[in-house]
Amino acid sequence: MLSTMGIDIARSSFEYLGEDHVGTSLETPLREDAFEMDDDLKVELIEKHFREIMHIMGLDLTDDSLKGTPHRVAKMYVKEVFSGLNPKNKPAAKLFENKYKYNQMLVEKDITFHSHCEHHFVPIYGRAHVAYISSGDVIGLSKINRIVQYYSKRPQVQERLTMQIGNELKEALGTEDVAVIMDAYHMCVSSRGVNDTNSSTVTSFFSGKFESEEQTRNEFLKYISLKK
């Protein structure tokens, strides 16, 4: 068992990691048995534990406004904001032959996304800009949005999220020529801690021509800066 001093040191270490938003792995950290329990049971258990959290905080769970909150939170966690944890919710990325031989970059910009910081479980929200150059096939535009949203609906750090989206698009499209830029606000920065409501965080992923050719990368950056 950890001594009191050991617990304090561990807690300080966790706080340090949380403040600096260090990611530990490209893959979302999941246990091997993460999906052995079905969603309904997860909702039931989270509801039970969240009710206890609210009780510990001193909230009156008999109040009409609060008594349904544990179930609402549990359902939201499993079915909505963290639904991207479950592989069964991964969008199928059907490809189509590029019959019109379009060989320039395709850019989809200003994709709205919502995620949650894995260190404090508070929202991250912003916009993603994605580009690719076809290697022979194309993808339905909405599938790009769905891929962004799928990986966003997990406890995340923005660096990992950006790389997961980029790598998934490379695999789904069968091309190395992929670019992703994400510009996001972190509530763990704006609503707690330093309480900075103005700063945003920008991360990028460049591969293939976007990484090796400055002209291609600059073309992408020019497109996403265009005014509507």
* Catalytic annotation present for 186: yes
Q: At 108, which helix (H) or strand (E)?
A: strand 105-117
Find the catalytic residue in 47, 116, 118, 129. Answer: 118
Find the catalytic residue in 47, 156, 164, 188. Answer: 188
* Catalytic annotation present for 158: yes
CA atoms within 13 A on the CB side of 190: 14
Report CA-CA distances (Å) from 164 to 5, 6, 28, 189: 38, 35, 9, 23
* Catalytic annotation present for 176: no
Q: Is 114 annotated as a binding residue?
A: no
Beta bridge partners of 179: 131, 206
* Catalytic annotation present for 118: yes
Find the catalytic residue in 47, 116, 164, 186. Answer: 186
Task: Give the number of other CB atoms < 10 A from CB of residue 117.
Answer: 19
Find the catalytic residue in 47, 120, 129, 168. Answer: 120
Q: Is 117 annotated as a binding residue?
A: yes
Find the catalytic residue in 47, 116, 119, 168. Answer: 119
* Catalytic annotation present for 21: no
Q: At 111, which helix (H) or strand (E)?
A: strand 105-117
Indicate the annotated binding residues: 117, 120, 188
Indicate the annotated binding residues for Zn(2+): 117, 120, 188
Active site residues: 117-120, 158, 186, 188
